[in-house]
Amino acid sequence: MTTKTCGLFTVLPLLYGCCLNLPPRPGGIPRHPNACLCPERIVSFAVTHTTASRSFGQTGTDDDFLLIVRLPGDDCELEFPDIPGDERESSKQDVYELGVAGICVLTANALKPEEVFIRTEGSDPWLPSEIKVVAHLENGEARTVVDRKDWPATRWFTTKPDEFHLPTKGAREWPITEKP
Ligand SMILES: [Ca+2]
Ligand SMILES: [Ca+2]
Question: Over 90: is that where the pLDDT of 7 sits?
Answer: no
Q: How far is the CA of 89 from the centre of ligand 1 (A)?
A: 11
In a domain, 180, yes or no: no
Interval 143-170 mean pLDDT = 94
In a domain, 73, yes or no: yes
Q: Is 32 in the same domain as 115?
A: no
List pLDDT tens digits, range 92-128: 999 999 999 889 989 998 899 999 999 999 999 999 9
Ligand index nearest the alpha carbon of residue 54:
2
Q: Is 142 in the same domain as 100?
A: yes
Q: What gap in Å lies between CA 153 and CA 54, rounded to an integer?
A: 11
DSSP 92-109: -EEEEEEE-TTT---BTT
Q: Give me the helices (H) in the chain, please.
A: 11-16
Residue 2 binned pLDDT confidence (cut-offs 50, 70, 90): very low
Q: How far is the CA of 82 from the centre of ligand 1 (A)?
A: 5
Q: Is 97 in the same domain as 116?
A: yes
Would you say the pTM of this structure is higher than 0.85?
Answer: no
Q: How far is the CA of 179 from the centre of ligand 1 (A)?
A: 29
Strands 128-137 and 76-79: unpaired
Tell me how many domains the chain contains: 2
**Higher per-residue confidence, 64 vs 110:** 64
Q: What gap in Å lies between CA 110 and CA 37, rounded to an integer?
A: 14
Q: Is 147 in the same domain as 122?
A: yes
CA 27 to chain centre: 39
In a domain, 65, yes or no: yes
Q: Is 79 in the same domain as 24?
A: no
Q: How far is the CA of 46 from the centre of ligand 1 (A)?
A: 17
**Higher per-residue confidence, 37 vs 149:** 149
Q: How far is the CA of 165 from the centre of ligand 2 (A)?
A: 16
Residue-range definition of the domain harbouring residue 22 = 4-38
